[in-house]
Structure 1
């Protein structure tokens, strides 16, 4: 096929990064279940370790199956490089690792997955890092939160659990003015609905566990670099702009240019933190991505129909789906997520906490699980589970108040899902 023709998303989600296996002709990417790789000779080994040649050394760093997955996600996101790791939480730490140091902070959205809030408010303190939580609808507050020790701004494209849509261009402008990268978690949107890099993001992270895999079988994460950030413009990022003592004094940005961040993430981050994706997990995710656009279209169509039904139901106080004209985030859909507002949102049940618990326990088709992005429709009461460790104020700010349940709408028949919600709501609000 001519290189001049730009391939469409539906084609790239099947073909990007992959080709028939040269040894066997296998059309599907094989699972390369191996720990290590034989070097051609001593010089070949030395060149690999010096980053003078791209190849495989040890599967904690790179693996052919995992590399195909990374390249596919990078291609769909419009980045220049990236790497996969063991989970979405691992991806967040891996994304920050080349940027941060003791005493540094990251400015983050108050509207994040509860586990991310805990990771950023508690766990990263053990590295000597800190996080400043800001309502990213307040651009001036974000600007004010950035100081001389800030090394990144972090948000979600479609926030979990409420489905709120972030004004990525506005956040990118703030981060650019401060000389720091904008990191966008694109898990809930996927590159099919949202392209953060085209909107100004520097880095994109994913929990590949969710929509990219789409079948609830394996965990995984990915970090994608836009290749557009100048890591040497200031002294804020010494791991990239100055000789790196953790890699025999190599200056990554000077030596590797736009691929500096990606190579640092592999050669130092994966090497030393060991947050490695296994090849079987990569295989499952590759198969999932092949149908990503088809699934997301159904996810969005179902979510819109169910959200509209819920909004008209007297047993419901409010619905947070950004695809509804009543949502304060509806105006951002056309710019940020032009193909739809996703399939993740919350709704408040009259009767509060107790009614939410009864609703969850009464559903038959919806699965009560701590996950999202599955082909199956999922539900959870965030305040008593994923956001349980947060204060009431943090729960409210994150969109996980006690009277709210989160739903991840699957690709079943929408009328069947509505019927299931109807019967469960009848029991919950009796």
Structure 2
């Protein structure tokens, strides 16, 4: 069933000596064995024919790696999983339908009713709602902590805590998590550190190399990069010891779903990735479309090229805004004056990403007028596109939160979020100048 777990590991090993630009093109890929096609084909099929009854039984028993049903595995999706595992320097990966689906599947494999998560309070607004509201219906509970307060994470851990969850580079506020310090806190408590690396991408930051155990992506964003395909992925470092305590019985104890098979004992450093697929993805069902996996794969081949341009443009735009009289503040770690600049130098030395926020003088109404007067920037709820994007979080992505929650999440009434694209930066600055004048 977990056809891609071993190949994902091999992809990481076989390309480990290559540079990032080479890996993003070649990791996990090979000419199609049936046709010789050099680009990974789209295997647009729901199911796969078994060789015989014995092979079918071994697949369903997890004794053989192979394809059964596209909700579980698909050759196109497998290449996507192999590539992201290699780029994150991790053991294996499981792809799903969206970034939110990745969070759901990732936590489902760890949690029981009554269990607890400690999370940064500076997260994407939808993640705050998912963890703080929707997860309560599973009787999963979250304590949100100031991401700058490392001791606060340690203090919030209880005997029922199953993970610490942060974003490497927070959306929308640009907060950079101290991954190494948080990994130390998590591991002292015998729990994994889960890092959403959507905004940074593995080109700018590899959380596994700083101690993260699980890395999540909304592949809809920078990995795909063109705003045309939904997807998410769960990346397993392979480094966490799931048998060190009794906190993770779904992994360390016999599974009733597979005749008493123990994932940690059977699959070792691939246990979490295999279990996410064989249990959580199988039963919850948020499968990625093979077509979307193909589109994201295509985008990933130019990831580093796009991220370099994104970061160069973002730094120039942030510098312009920081000097504008109608701008109250700019939160971009690439600026030397930013409070997170030192952490950016440590964790994101190639650039501080392309998404950041700034505060307009004038508040809520000025924010809505500003976004309505932009021409090049598209006003929509997404990030990570080749096009430059803008949104007023208080009236859109964070609207479901209370004013206090919005302020805490870095999405107050005067906040504007920009996702800087790869256009000519001079054109972007001219567009912003006109909108600022109108606001």
User: Within 5 A, what are the aligned runs for 1:219-368?
Assistant: 219-368=230-379
Give distance in 1, aligned partners of 2:35 and 2:15. 29
Residue 114 of structure 2 corresponds to residue 116 of structure 1: no
Residue 30 of structure 2 corresponds to residue 15 of structure 1: no
**How far does residue 248 in structure 1 lie from its aligned partner after superposition?**
2.3
**How far does residue 51 in structure 1 lie from its aligned partner after superposition?**
1.3
Match of 2:58 in 1: 47
Q: Deviations over 1:157-212 (max 9, x none)?
A: 00000111111101101001110000000000000000000010000000000000
Runs of 4+ in 1 over 4 A off after TM superposition: 2-5
Is the CA contact 1:155–1:166 (under 8 Å) kept in the aligned structure 2?
Answer: yes
Residue 87 of structure 2 corresponds to residue 88 of structure 1: no
Give distance in 2, aligned partners of 1:147 and 1:339. 37
Give distance in 1, aligned partners of 2:264 and 2:352. 37
Give distance in 1, aligned partners of 2:21 and 2:64. 32
| TM-score of the two chains, using structure 1 as the length reference | 0.98
* Alignment size in residue pairs: 427
- Unaligned 5+ segments in structure 1 are none
**How far does residue 359 in structure 1 lie from its aligned partner after superposition?**
0.3
Q: Deviations over 1:206-248 (max 9, x none)?
A: 0000000000001100000000000010000000000111222
Give distance in 1, aligned partners of 2:138 and 2:362. 43
Q: 1:65 to 1:5 in 2, by over 3 A?
A: closer
SS of match in other structure, 2:328: strand
Residue 222 of structure 2 corresponds to residue 211 of structure 1: yes
**How far does residue 5 in structure 1 lie from its aligned partner after superposition?**
7.3
Match of 1:398 in 2: 409
Is the CA contact 1:247–1:268 (under 8 Å) kept in the aligned structure 2?
Answer: no
Match of 1:154 in 2: 165
Residue 188 of structure 2 corresponds to residue 183 of structure 1: no
- Unaligned 5+ segments in structure 2 are 1-12
**How far does residue 55 in structure 1 lie from its aligned partner after superposition?**
0.4
Is the CA contact 1:84–1:221 (under 8 Å) kept in the aligned structure 2?
Answer: yes
* Root-mean-square deviation (Å): 1.1
